[in-house]
Structure 1
Amino acid sequence: MVDYSPLWATMKQKQITTYTLITKYGINTRTIFNLKHNKGITVYTLEKLCNILQCTPNDVLRFIDSNS
Protein backbone atom coordinates (compact mmCIF):
# COMPACT_ATOMS: atom_id res chain seq x y z
CA MET A 1 0.00 0.00 0.00
CA VAL A 2 1.22 3.50 -0.80
CA ASP A 3 1.30 6.17 1.90
CA TYR A 4 1.86 9.83 1.08
CA SER A 5 2.46 11.05 4.62
CA PRO A 6 6.08 11.96 3.74
CA LEU A 7 4.68 14.35 1.11
CA TRP A 8 2.70 16.34 3.65
CA ALA A 9 5.73 16.60 5.95
CA THR A 10 7.93 17.71 3.04
CA MET A 11 5.36 20.28 1.92
CA LYS A 12 5.10 21.66 5.45
CA GLN A 13 8.88 21.89 5.72
CA LYS A 14 9.11 23.69 2.35
CA GLN A 15 6.05 25.84 3.15
CA ILE A 16 4.15 24.77 0.03
CA THR A 17 0.39 24.28 0.28
CA THR A 18 -1.96 22.19 -1.85
CA TYR A 19 -3.39 25.50 -3.08
CA THR A 20 0.06 26.46 -4.34
CA LEU A 21 0.46 23.09 -6.07
CA ILE A 22 -2.84 23.63 -7.87
CA THR A 23 -2.58 27.32 -8.78
CA LYS A 24 1.13 27.89 -9.31
CA TYR A 25 2.28 24.49 -10.55
CA GLY A 26 -0.83 23.19 -12.29
CA ILE A 27 -1.30 20.02 -10.26
CA ASN A 28 -4.82 18.73 -10.96
CA THR A 29 -7.32 18.77 -8.10
CA ARG A 30 -8.06 15.10 -8.82
CA THR A 31 -4.38 14.35 -8.21
CA ILE A 32 -4.55 16.16 -4.86
CA PHE A 33 -7.61 14.05 -4.00
CA ASN A 34 -5.69 10.87 -4.92
CA LEU A 35 -2.75 11.93 -2.77
CA LYS A 36 -4.97 12.70 0.22
CA HIS A 37 -6.64 9.31 -0.09
CA ASN A 38 -3.45 7.28 -0.74
CA LYS A 39 -4.53 6.38 -4.27
CA GLY A 40 -2.14 5.82 -7.17
CA ILE A 41 -0.44 8.58 -9.12
CA THR A 42 1.63 8.44 -12.29
CA VAL A 43 5.41 8.43 -12.36
CA TYR A 44 5.15 11.70 -14.29
CA THR A 45 3.25 13.26 -11.35
CA LEU A 46 5.77 11.86 -8.88
CA GLU A 47 8.59 13.38 -10.92
CA LYS A 48 6.76 16.70 -11.12
CA LEU A 49 6.23 16.78 -7.34
CA CYS A 50 9.90 15.96 -6.76
CA ASN A 51 10.95 18.80 -9.07
CA ILE A 52 8.58 21.27 -7.40
CA LEU A 53 9.67 20.30 -3.89
CA GLN A 54 13.31 19.66 -4.84
CA CYS A 55 13.25 16.27 -3.16
CA THR A 56 13.44 12.55 -3.85
CA PRO A 57 10.55 10.05 -4.20
CA ASN A 58 11.24 8.91 -0.61
CA ASP A 59 10.22 12.41 0.49
CA VAL A 60 6.87 11.99 -1.27
CA LEU A 61 5.76 8.43 -0.61
CA ARG A 62 6.49 5.24 1.24
CA PHE A 63 5.27 1.71 0.83
CA ILE A 64 3.49 -0.05 3.67
CA ASP A 65 3.39 -3.83 3.81
CA SER A 66 -0.30 -4.70 3.51
CA ASN A 67 0.38 -8.08 5.19
CA SER A 68 1.19 -6.39 8.50
Structure 2
Amino acid sequence: MISTDPFWKLMNERKISSYMLEEEYDLNPAEISRLKNNHNFTLSSIDRFCQIFQCDVKDIIAYTPTMKSNQ
Protein backbone atom coordinates (compact mmCIF):
# COMPACT_ATOMS: atom_id res chain seq x y z
CA MET A 1 0.00 0.00 0.00
CA ILE A 2 1.20 3.50 -0.82
CA SER A 3 0.76 5.97 2.01
CA THR A 4 1.15 9.74 2.20
CA ASP A 5 1.83 9.65 5.93
CA PRO A 6 5.42 10.90 5.43
CA PHE A 7 4.04 13.97 3.64
CA TRP A 8 1.83 14.90 6.60
CA LYS A 9 4.70 14.29 9.00
CA LEU A 10 6.84 16.65 6.92
CA MET A 11 4.05 19.23 6.91
CA ASN A 12 3.72 18.98 10.69
CA GLU A 13 7.47 19.31 11.22
CA ARG A 14 7.55 22.42 9.01
CA LYS A 15 4.36 23.79 10.57
CA ILE A 16 2.58 24.07 7.21
CA SER A 17 -1.20 23.78 7.15
CA SER A 18 -3.49 22.62 4.36
CA TYR A 19 -4.64 26.23 4.08
CA MET A 20 -1.04 27.33 3.53
CA LEU A 21 -0.65 24.70 0.81
CA GLU A 22 -3.51 26.31 -1.08
CA GLU A 23 -2.71 29.96 -0.42
CA GLU A 24 1.07 30.19 -0.25
CA TYR A 25 2.08 27.27 -2.46
CA ASP A 26 -0.83 27.61 -4.91
CA LEU A 27 -1.84 23.95 -4.69
CA ASN A 28 -5.20 22.79 -5.93
CA PRO A 29 -7.59 21.78 -3.11
CA ALA A 30 -8.38 18.58 -5.04
CA GLU A 31 -4.69 17.59 -4.93
CA ILE A 32 -4.61 18.14 -1.19
CA SER A 33 -7.80 16.11 -0.74
CA ARG A 34 -6.32 13.19 -2.73
CA LEU A 35 -3.27 13.23 -0.49
CA LYS A 36 -5.33 13.38 2.71
CA ASN A 37 -7.41 10.39 1.64
CA ASN A 38 -4.58 8.35 0.06
CA HIS A 39 -6.32 8.50 -3.30
CA ASN A 40 -4.56 8.31 -6.65
CA PHE A 41 -2.22 11.12 -7.56
CA THR A 42 0.25 11.57 -10.38
CA LEU A 43 4.00 11.38 -10.45
CA SER A 44 4.02 14.98 -11.61
CA SER A 45 2.24 15.88 -8.35
CA ILE A 46 4.91 14.09 -6.34
CA ASP A 47 7.59 15.83 -8.39
CA ARG A 48 5.96 19.20 -7.70
CA PHE A 49 5.81 18.53 -3.94
CA CYS A 50 9.46 17.49 -3.91
CA GLN A 51 10.42 20.69 -5.74
CA ILE A 52 8.31 22.93 -3.49
CA PHE A 53 9.57 21.41 -0.25
CA GLN A 54 13.10 20.56 -1.42
CA CYS A 55 12.75 16.98 -0.28
CA ASP A 56 13.03 13.42 -1.55
CA VAL A 57 10.19 11.16 -2.72
CA LYS A 58 10.51 9.13 0.48
CA ASP A 59 9.56 12.31 2.38
CA ILE A 60 6.24 12.38 0.47
CA ILE A 61 5.15 8.75 0.13
CA ALA A 62 5.91 5.35 1.66
CA TYR A 63 5.28 1.81 0.51
CA THR A 64 4.08 -0.83 2.93
CA PRO A 65 3.58 -4.37 1.62
CA THR A 66 0.10 -5.74 2.12
CA MET A 67 -0.66 -9.34 2.99
CA LYS A 68 -2.17 -11.26 0.08
CA SER A 69 -4.89 -13.75 0.89
CA ASN A 70 -4.61 -17.28 -0.45
CA GLN A 71 -7.51 -17.38 -2.86
TM over 0.5: yes
| Correspondence for 2:67 | 67
Question: 2:18 maps to which residue?
Answer: 18
Matched residue of 1:49: which SS?
helix
Letter in 2 for 1:53: F
SS in 2 for 1:21: helix
TM superposition shift of 1:66 = 2.1
| Offset of residue 21 of structure 1 | 1.0
Q: Equivalents in 2 of 1:12, 1:22: separation in Å?
A: 16
- How far does the alpha carbon of each residue in 1:27-59 deviate from its partner, in whole angstroms, 9 at most, with x for none? 111111110111121111101111111110100
Contact residue 3 and residue 62 of structure 1 kept, 8 A: yes
What secondary structure, in the 3-state scheme, does the structure 2 residue paired with 1:33 have? Answer: helix
What is the aligned partner in structure 2 of residue 38 from structure 1? 38
Of 54-63 and 17-26, the range deviating more from structure 2:
17-26
The Cα shift of 1:26 comes to 1.6
Aligned AA (1:57) = V
Structure 2 residue runs without a partner (length 5+):
none
Q: Radius of gyration: which is bigger?
A: 2
Q: Which runs of 5+ in 1 are unaligned?
A: none
The root-mean-square deviation of aligned C-alpha atoms, in Å, is: 1.3
Equivalent residue pairs, number? 68
Partner of 2:52: 52
The structure 1 segments of at least 4 consecutive aligned residues displaced by more than 2 Å after TM superposition are: none
